[in-house]
Copies of this chain bind each other. A is one copy, B any other.
Amino acid sequence: MSEQMKVISAAKSHGGVQGVYSHASEACACDMNFAVFVPPQARETPCPVVWYLSGLTCTHANVMDKGEYRRMAAELGLIVVCPDTSPRGTDIPDEKDNWQFGGGAGFYVDATQAPYAKNYRMYSYITEELPALIAQEFPADMRRQAIFGHSMGGHGALTIALKNPERFKSCSAFAPIVQPATAGWSRPALEKYLGKDKASWRSYDATSLIEDGHRFPEFLIDQGTSDGFLNDGLRPWLLGAACAKAGIPLTLRMQDGYDHSYFFISTFMDDHLRWHAKRLSDAKAGA
């Protein structure tokens, strides 16, 4: 292990190792934590990498504690990387009483507006800096990567996949924000991070990206019907319409009675990991 990364904790779990690590992030100009599960297969051979992006208010720890991904990731031989959701630290601009902006609410964008542009660069962090560190420090086969996430992290997964289709073999989401440019809980954040000119928001909005010609082979989305944010913030049918128009296959499963919590996410975690493993495995066969 190099000097670039500090081990916060490491515990054996399901035959692999669940670790939490810290490093000095250049993109976010602060120390950042992240969690990585390395499956037992990685002792023999590099394993594919699945990125899980978390939702508003979360750190790396929420899905690590409640996501129930290790059993299936160990079975399928997947490395699971769970980054934080924003820059952190006492000298980072924040609005502590606003859970939809600042700390825990990076929205996976590169902010262009002062004072946020210095730290809130989660897009570069997730797509460039952290992958380079993972490639260097873990037994990862970076030719095989997949991405998924929840809520704000579902938005992150969709937009990052649409902008980097050559990198990711598959993309899925739990209850994603599919059109942050018009959702009440994300519009104010985009305005503060990116400015008032809504043209600049389009590259961080899954439906706009598809309208503007970006493509991805297919998406899997699970959405609970009892999710309190369904009709206001999430509205998966907007992605359905964009995908239908663009000819992108979308498997949208409305899950009866499920809410927005990790009780929902953990229920369908196995399905998503199997979805990714199948496509990562096909990628290997075709490589």
Stretch at the interface among A62-70, A108-116, A165-173, A188-196: A62-70
Give the residue among A15, A71, A270 with the most B Cβ atoms within 10 A: A71
Taking the closest CB of chain B, its distance from the CB of A58, in whole angstroms, is 13
A264 proximity list for chain B (CB < 8 A)? 11-13
The A229-287 residues at the B interface (CB cut-off 8 A) are: 257-259, 261-264, 266-267, 270
Chain A: interface residue total (CB-CB under 8 A): 23
Query: Does residue A18 face the partner (Cβ distance < 8 Å to B)?
Result: yes
Complex CA–CA separation, A258 to B16 (angstroms)? 10
Complex CA–CA separation, A13 to B270 (angstroms)? 13
Q: Mark A190-231, 1 if CB is under 8 A from B, else 0.
A: 000000000000000000000000000000000010100000
The A62-105 residues at the B interface (CB cut-off 8 A) are: 65-66, 68, 70-71
Task: Say which residue of B15, B68, B257 sits within 8 Å of A12 (CB atoms).
Answer: B257
Taking the closest CB of chain B, its distance from the CB of A21, in whole angstroms, is 15
Chain B minimum-CB-distance residue to A268: B14
Task: Say which residue of B15, B18, B65, B266 sits within 8 Å of A13 (CB atoms).
Answer: B266
Contact A13 B66 (CB under 8 A): no
Contact B70 A259 (CB under 8 A): no
A266 proximity list for chain B (CB < 8 A)? 13-14, 68, 70-71
Taking the closest CB of chain B, its distance from the CB of A223, in whole angstroms, is 13
Chain B minimum-CB-distance residue to A15: B267
Contact A12 B66 (CB under 8 A): no
A267 proximity list for chain B (CB < 8 A)? 12-15, 70-71
- How many copies of this chain sit in the oligomeric assembly? 2
A15 proximity list for chain B (CB < 8 A)? 267
Chain B minimum-CB-distance residue to A72: B71
Taking the closest CB of chain B, its distance from the CB of A12, in whole angstroms, is 4
Contact A68 B68 (CB under 8 A): yes
Contact B263 A13 (CB under 8 A): yes
Contact A11 B259 (CB under 8 A): yes
Taking the closest CB of chain B, its distance from the CB of A4, in whole angstroms, is 25
Contact B71 A263 (CB under 8 A): no
Complex CA–CA separation, A177 to B257 (angstroms)? 40
Task: Say which residue of B12, B66, B224 sits within 8 Å of A263 (CB atoms).
Answer: B12
The A146-177 residues at the B interface (CB cut-off 8 A) are: none
Q: Mark A42-65, 1 if CB is under 8 A from B, else 0.
A: 000000000000000000000001
A12 proximity list for chain B (CB < 8 A)? 224, 226, 257-259, 263-264, 267
Q: Which residues of A contact B (CB under 8 A)?
A: 11-15, 18, 65-66, 68, 70-71, 224, 226, 257-259, 261-264, 266-267, 270
